[in-house]
Amino acid sequence: MREEEVSIDELSYELSMVLEGLLYYAGVKKSNLEEAANIYVQSIDDALENSEATGVDEVIEIIEYMKKHHKKLFEK
């Protein structure tokens, strides 16, 4: 198997697309995906402030936090 170098920009782009896909399946309208991705990143500390969640449970808690505090993103 050949190893290829992947740039940080490429990884960042791919991670951004995965996050937007995750948010879409969590119920965010397509027109709000970019805004929701930014809010997701900005909400991490607040959403997990008193949490003991780890791994995928952290992601779930952040989405639940967003659904509670940023309802408009999820309106269809």
| Predicted confidence (pLDDT) per residue in 36-52, tens digit | 999 999 999 999 999 99
What's the full length of the chain, in residues?
Answer: 76
Q: Using one digit for the tens of pLDDT, what is the confidence trace for 5-19?
A: 778 899 999 999 999
SS3 helix, strand, coil % of the chain, rounded to 5?
Answer: 70, 0, 30
Q: Which residues of 37-54 are buried (b: 16+ CB within 10 A; e: fewer)?
A: bebbeebeeebbeeeeee
Entry pTM: 0.86
